[in-house]
Amino acid sequence: MNKRLRFWLDERSGYSVIFHFLKEKKIPQHRHSIWYYTGSAILLFFAIQVITGFLLVFYYNPTLEGANASVARIMTEVPLGWIIRSVHSWSASFMIAFVFVHLLSIWITKAYRKPRELTWMSGVFLLFVSLAFGFTGYLLPWDDLSLSATKVGTDIPRSIPIVGIWVTKLLRGGEDVTGDTLTRFFGFHVSILPLFLLAILAVHVYLIQKQGMSIPLEAERKDEKMKELPFWPNFVFREMVVWLVLTGILFSVAVFFPPSLDKAADLMAPAPEGIRPEWYFLFLFQMLKIFPAKILFVNGDTLAVLLILLGIVAFFFLPLIDNKPAERKGKIITVIAYLFIVFALAMTVWSLL
């Protein structure tokens, strides 16, 4: 019966082509192979986000009066609700951490070189969508800290010349952060961003399958014959070990360090002390903070935001900028990668002090 059903399905969908492809797929083995596991770890955390997100949506109420109360209810009345929320919150942090590690490892090993430029660009898109998930999700508990952080966050685009004010209004749904912003952020968080993410993820995964895994630059230049491992089952079994360990760590952290909830935000109240965004925005936040108010005749904020935008554009087009990875220019770009890591860590630590 099982066989007949499979044959029936295959005759109509041709799904066995995918299985055949995965069976034939090979994974190169070398000293940088460990970075291959970061990609599937991101997928694991994304899947956990989706499942826990579905569960939270059953009880969350995206209105000015109900948002904070419904989160409080999830944490105090819903059976195991606090764990579900904690897992959702922690898996978001884990996912973004792994996206950073994944992209930085690709940057340093120069895995984005020809013909994988589009794979890199789709990956950078995925980073931005993940950050947007974090930014929109931060407001949803609607407590004092999340309201103030969102006010600061949505005010940053205002410094961009010409379109800045429009972007801020678009994000807030008006002049200020209100209940409309909450509804808007909820809409982004549960419908628009997931659709974007799934579409870009599909392109990203397709490109990875089409181009295959990259090998180290030196090995490619010397035309070395690389040891290969079948994707199924050899590599998948190894990935399962990583998934198990990561799931264990995630659940343990979520149980022992669940995120707390402050009292409901008051739109009229002054901003509380120690406003801080999520950890992955801290280095940008600190950078904006230390920028002088005026540099020559230009507003400091505008200059800082434009610099950040320029950095983002350069990061997106990195494979095109780093078009000679084996030469001097390529080596300088690798040094920049290390400097960026040191800079981001230093700024984050400074912001926490």
Tokens of 143: 């407590």
**28: closest CA among 202, 205, 220?**
220
* Torsion sign, CA atoms 309, 311, 316, 322: positive
The answer to whether the CB of 321 falls within 8 A of the CB of 314 is yes
Contact between 84 and another protein (CB under 8 A)?
yes
Beta carbon of residue 131, minimum distance to another protein (angstroms, whole number): 25
Single out the residue of 41, 44, 48, 75 in contact with another protein (rule: CB under 8 A): 75
Stretch that binds another protein, among 77-85, 98-106, 189-197, 322-330 (CB under 8 A): 77-85
Single out the residue of 252, 289, 295, 338 in contact with another protein (rule: CB under 8 A): 252
Stretch that binds another protein, among 13-21, 81-89, 303-311, 334-342 (CB under 8 A): 81-89
Q: Which is nearer to another protein, 245 or 345 (CB)?
A: 245
Q: Is 274 helix (H, G, I), strand (E, B) or coil?
A: coil
Contact between 78 and another protein (CB under 8 A)?
yes
Beta carbon of residue 228, minimum distance to another protein (angstroms, whole number): 9
The answer to whether the CB of 333 falls within 8 A of the CB of 324 is no
Q: Which is nearer to another protein, 26 or 151 (CB)?
A: 26
Measured from the Cβ of residue 222, the count of other Cβ atoms closer than 10 Å reads 9
Single out the residue of 25, 40, 43, 66 in contact with another protein (rule: CB under 8 A): 66
Taking the C-alpha atoms of 67, 69, 73 and 76 in order, what is their torsion angle to the nearest 10 degrees?
130
Taking CB under 8 A as the criterion, which residues in 145-164 touch another protein? Answer: none
Q: Which is nearer to another protein, 44 or 106 (CB)?
A: 44
Distance CA 333, CA 336 (A): 5
Please give the DSSP secondary-structure letter assigned to residue 143: B
Contact between 269 and another protein (CB under 8 A)?
no
Beta carbon of residue 27, minimum distance to another protein (angstroms, whole number): 11
Contact between 237 and another protein (CB under 8 A)?
yes
Q: Look at the block and give the residue holding tokens 């610099």.
A: 307
Single out the residue of 9, 234, 320, 338 in contact with another protein (rule: CB under 8 A): 234
The answer to whether the CB of 225 falls within 8 A of the CB of 169 is no
Contact between 259 and another protein (CB under 8 A)?
yes
Q: Which is nearer to another protein, 115 or 248 (CB)?
A: 248
For residue 158, give the amino acid letter. R
Going by their DSSP bridges, the two strands 26-29 and 294-295 should be labelled as unpaired
Single out the residue of 27, 41, 42, 67 in contact with another protein (rule: CB under 8 A): 67
**61: closest CA among 144, 150, 183?**
183
Q: Which residues contact 277 (CB under 8 A, 6 or more apart)?
A: 135, 138, 149, 152, 153, 285
Beta carbon of residue 287, minimum distance to another protein (angstroms, whole number): 30
Q: Which is nearer to another protein, 26 or 158 (CB)?
A: 26
Taking CB under 8 A as the criterion, which residues in 46-65 touch another protein? Answer: 55, 57-61, 63, 65
Distance CA 120, CA 100 (A): 13
Q: Which residues bind another protein (CB under 8 A)?
A: 55, 57-61, 63, 65-70, 72-73, 75-86, 229-230, 233-234, 237-238, 240-241, 244-245, 247-248, 251-252, 255, 258-264
